[in-house]
Amino acid sequence: MQFLTADTRGQLGFGEIWSRIKPVSALGRSLHRQAEAFLPAQKGQLVEEWERLALISAVLRENPKACVGLKTLLSHVPDVTDCINRSLTDSTLSDADFYSIKKLLRVARDIKGELARLGWGGVLPAPLDVCPEVLDALSVGQGDSESFYLADAYHEKLAEIRSKRFALEDKLTQRRKQVEDHVFQAVGRVFSTEDELAVSVSDQETIAVLENIPQLVRSEETPDCVKFRLRLDESARELQRELRAVRAEEEQRKARVRERLTGVIAEQEERLRKILSILGFLDFLLAKAEFCASCGGVKPNLRDDGVVSIYQGRHLLLEEDVTGRGLAYTPIDLELKRGVTLITGPNMGGKTACLETVGLLLAMAQFGLLVPAEKLEFSPRTFIAARLTAADNPKGLSSFAGEIAFIREVVRVSDQPGLILLDEIAHGTNPTEGAAIAQAVLERLNGQPPITLVTTHYPALAQLEGMGQLRIRGLDHARLAEMWSEDTELDLELFHQAMDYRLEPVKEPHTLKGDVVHLAEALGLDEKIILRAQELVKRGAEHG
Amino acid sequence: MLAQDLANRFRSVSIIGLGKNTGKTFTFNYLLRESRRLGLSTAITSIGLDGEERDTITGRAKPQVVVYPGQIVLTASSLLTASSLDYEVLAATGIASRLGEIIIVRAMGLGRVVLAGPSNRSELEQLQEKLEPFPHDLLLVDGAFDRRSLSAPAATDTTILAVGTEAAWDREDLLGRLKLQWQLLTLSALDNQQLLSSIETIPNDAKLVVFCGNTPQHIIYHSDSPGTGGSWPTYTEQGIYTIFVPGMLTDGLLAQVLPKNVPTSLTLLVPDATHLFLSRRSLDILTHRGVSLKVLRQVHISAVTVNPYSSRFGCAEPLSLLQDVGRVVEPVPCYDLNLGLRYVAKEDADAVSHR
């Protein structure tokens, strides 16, 4: 089973959280897209990753702008993988390719300096070798310029050939310029095209002037205009021929230099790829560290006993939603062991939120992130699988069918230490048979390697022995009575304020406490219906 | 000289056309020659076609541009490799085209090159940012004839409109098209600071916003499927309403957004004229129903050029074309650059001046 399926990613809000990590280079973004979780066999690497993040995010918490310079440099890192690959084929790299590789090496050099200044050299998985020889090879005759030019110094003949070309170009340009100047002074006109000047037949004065310029020839006449063409004499044609020949020679020389430089790139292929890999890693690491610093993440601790222990764990998206509505958010505290743990409690008491929080925190931790909690201790899982009611599941039979497919899959992998999150188990069918199926599933999963966390409203399940039990404390009736006077209506805000969302362990099998009628009232259900429901609840309690 | 006038007042100039082969590239090359004569340093690129070696409309090979030493060129890397130009690579832009990444180079000699620059406005804006560190007097952007290149005026300081008989040989038809385009390109900008401030706060994914006074009353998002944008606001006769369309306003969208009972004061607002793709009929409907059409940012037009050559019908009489077009676009200067003529309005009769 995949560590985190796309479906579970979405249900836990992991996709949204992951999208908030924003590398600035194409290399970093590629690593971000392809990132996979650290599995139990990679504990050592996982701890190293957390330690790197803890080091950087501690600095960032002190000074959020500490790595602005580094990030700016990283944003300029070009991905030259394609250039490196082409250098290994028969093709010769272009000047644009050399520019990109030179840029990479200059940026890598500056990043190395910046890392040393920050004292962060140790966060890299390997020392950053910035290939100074290749940078030198791409900087011949160019000083410390960022640009790339096949300068004269690349080939002993290049300067000579270029000098010939400049002289020829200059001669041709000067000849043309003389005529253009003459025309401009005489009639105030610029040529219509490279070689032609058109004049309206209505402007006989200009036509007469142009006819007296020996370097122009009357080339065409229409009813509307007369065209004059630049006269090209034999010496000009000879200059053009020479120029073509010199250009061809220059191109040949430059082609040889390009071949040589391509060979240098091919020879240093491995070192160049290593630079790309390290810079991509660094970019991704900084993006994660920025995220972790922004959410007050802490370094998780690993345990070997399979227990998950969370203290003051927060689901960032739920927290944003709750506090965004001006309400107080309650972090969760819990401890989970292998086998099944049930969570019971009233509707809107936060049972689903508990599942989401546990799943998200463990997913974040195993993707190498620091986690928003006071403390998280756990053993890495081989998979996280969630089926939450809040998710956009189909209703009726198809919803039930979907749940059964999910259960079938998690039972299949129940010999592995995964994390299974099941919300309102078997609620999509009739209560008697639903409860029976639920009990059978829980009995099958209990005692198995996965941690299975299940929410339910089935009273029978709360009576089961041998499984962990947690309960949302629920409505604080004393508090509610205090706040709910005759002048105030019971609304959702009041309900929320009177609700105690904390979890508490339940030692003995117990009867479920609903608070559902109060909730229905707070949600605005008709008063008569509420009264009748209260009467029925009371009668049910009296009859046991 | 036109190039001098442009360089004195602007940093970037785009050239758009009333149709294909209306003289855009001719105007572009002419401005380059004038710039060279004046000793101006120019940067050059094109917009609109996604790195095709052939013009997708005419099927002809895209023309090469003569490049002089020192000139800055922004084009696809493979076109530079294929050219005989000696150049220094100044920057890679990260903007990809089918012919390779668009790169910024400085010519180190005389040569010719095919331009294939950004394909849309946003890329052109990015390109200008990348160009910033390299000193130049004027950026010239040659436009292809397609919707995307028509967005260039919104990304450059000023624009030149090329009008040619290739767009319509029949003079009445040509002038009708020109008047429509001109009416759109010269729409006045909204002058209501409060409403402008309010517009700045609308979400990026809004497809349409109805303001009553300066307050957003109804927003339709791009993600809204047809019919789910909620009910339209009820227009009151006294209310002052503005419908802001952040994207393209086409005839089809106009038919959807125009309320049946137009209130006394209704303004349709778009970011700039390059977002308008309306027919004459739609404009007439707006006029008839008393709806005002405005833009947030006015497009600046420095000049109009005329091209009497038509590939199907030959050459139109150039002076009368210059006069006809000049009258429509006055007071914006109108030129026949080929013949070196400029339209000059006179009280008794129109005339042309020989330059």
pLDDT tens-digit series, residues A460-476: 777 777 888 888 887 77
pLDDT of residue B57: 46
Distance from CA of B283 to the nearest CA of A (A): 37
Coil, strand or helix: which one is A340?
Answer: strand
**A387 contacts A452 by C-beta, under 8 angstroms:** no
Shared-domain flag, residues B247 and B281? yes
Mutation for testing the A interface, residue in B110, B309, B341 having most A CBs under 10 Å: B110
Q: Nearest-CA residue of chain B relative to A206?
A: B354
CATH superfamily of A301-509: P-loop containing nucleotide triphosphate hydrolases (3.40.50.300)
Between A148, A166, A203, which is nearest B354 by CB? A203
Query: What residue segments make up the domains of chain A, in order of their start?
Result: 20-131+268-294, 158-237, 301-509, 514-544
Q: Percentage of residues in chain A with pLDDT exceeding 70?
A: 92
A202 vs B: CB within 8 A: yes
pLDDT at A339 (0 to 100): 92
How far is the C-alpha of A435 from the C-alpha of A456, rounded, in Å?
9
Mean per-residue pLDDT for A390-397? 52
Cα angle for residues A52, A55, A56 (degrees, 5° grid): 90
- Closest by CA to B14, choosing from B188, B161, B189, B164, is B161
State the DSSP code for B137: S
Would you say the CATH fold of A301-509 matches that of A20-131+268-294?
no
Window from A490-499, B62-71, B299-308 with minimum mean pLDDT: A490-499
In B, which residues are within 8 Å of A198 by CB distance?
338-340
Asked whether the beta carbons of residue A184 and residue B37 sit closer than 8 angstroms, the reply is yes
Per-residue pLDDT tens for B105-122? Answer: 999 999 999 898 888 888
Q: Average pLDDT, stretch A39-60?
A: 95
In angstroms, what separates the C-alpha of A355 from chain B's closest C-alpha?
30
| Residue of A190, A198, A203 lying closest to B33 (CB–CB) | A190
Confidence (pLDDT) at B147: 59
Q: Which of B33, B110, B315 sits opposite A169 (nearest CB)?
A: B110
Residues B291, B303 within the same domain: no
Say whether domain A20-131+268-294 belongs to CATH 1.10.1420.10: yes
Q: What is the pLDDT confidence band of residue A289, given thresholds at 50, 70 and 90?
A: very high
Selected residues 429-468 of chain A with any CB under 8 Å from a CB in chain B? none
Residues B109 and B176 in one domain: yes
Q: Are residues B241 and B318 in the same domain?
A: no
Q: Which residue of A has its CA nearest to B321?
A: A224
Band of the pLDDT at B51, cuts 50, 70, 90?
Answer: very low
Tell whether B112 is within 8 A of chain A (Cβ). no
* Straight-line distance from the first to the last Cα atom of chain B, in angstroms, rounded to the nearest whole number: 9
The nearest alpha carbon in chain A to B78 belongs to: A94
Task: Please tell me the least confidently modeled range out of A128-137, A348-357, A398-407, B198-207.
Answer: A398-407
Domain shared by B152 and B60, yes or no: yes
Average pLDDT over residues A51-64: 94
Q: Structurally, how many domains does chain B consist of? A: 2
Please report the pLDDT score of residue B218 as a whole number.
84
How many whole angstroms separate alpha carbon A350 and alpha carbon A330?
Answer: 9
CATH number for the domain that contains residue B258? 3.40.140
Burial environment of residue A75 by CB neighbours within 10 A (0 to 12, 13 to 18, 19 or more): middle
B151 & B25 share domain: yes
**Is A228 part of the contact surface with chain B (CB cutoff 8 Å)?**
no
**CA nearest to B316 within chain A:** A224
* Whole-number pLDDT of residue A39: 96
Residue A448, CA distances (Å) to A266, A386, A411, A414 in order: 54, 17, 10, 6
Q: Any chain A CB within 8 A of the CB of B90?
A: yes
Domain enclosing residue B260, as ranges? 193-295
Residues B19 and B158 grouped into a single domain: yes
User: Strand, coil or helix: what is B104?
Assistant: strand
Cβ–Cβ pairs < 8 A, chains A and B: 99
Q: Which pairs count as long-range contacts for A319-328, CB under 8 Å and 24+ apart, including other chains?
A: A319/A372, A327/A493, A327/A496
Smallest CA–CA distance, residue B34 to chain A, in Å, is 7
Do B12 and B122 have their domain in common?
yes
For residue B212, the model assigns a pLDDT of: 87
Structural tokens at position B225: 């499927």
Of the candidates A99, A169, A247, which has its C-beta nearest B92's C-beta? A99
Q: pLDDT band at A86, cuts 50/70/90? A: very high
Q: Looking at the structure, do residues B148 and B84 belong to the same domain, yes or no?
A: yes
End-to-end CA distance of chain A: 45
> Are B227 and B305 in the same domain?
no
Are B175 and B237 in the same domain?
A: no
Taking residues B247-274, what's their average pLDDT?
Answer: 85
How confident is the prediction for chain A on average, in pLDDT?
A: 89
Co-location of B174 and B227 in the same domain: no
The CATH number of residue B129's host domain is: 3.40.50
**Alpha carbons B77 and B103: distance in angstroms, whole number:** 6
| Predicted-assembly ipTM surpassing the 0.90 threshold | no
Q: Is the peptide bond before A23 cis (omega within 30 degrees of 0)?
A: no
pLDDT at B355: 55
Q: Which residues of A touch B37 (CB under 8 A)?
A: 180, 184, 190
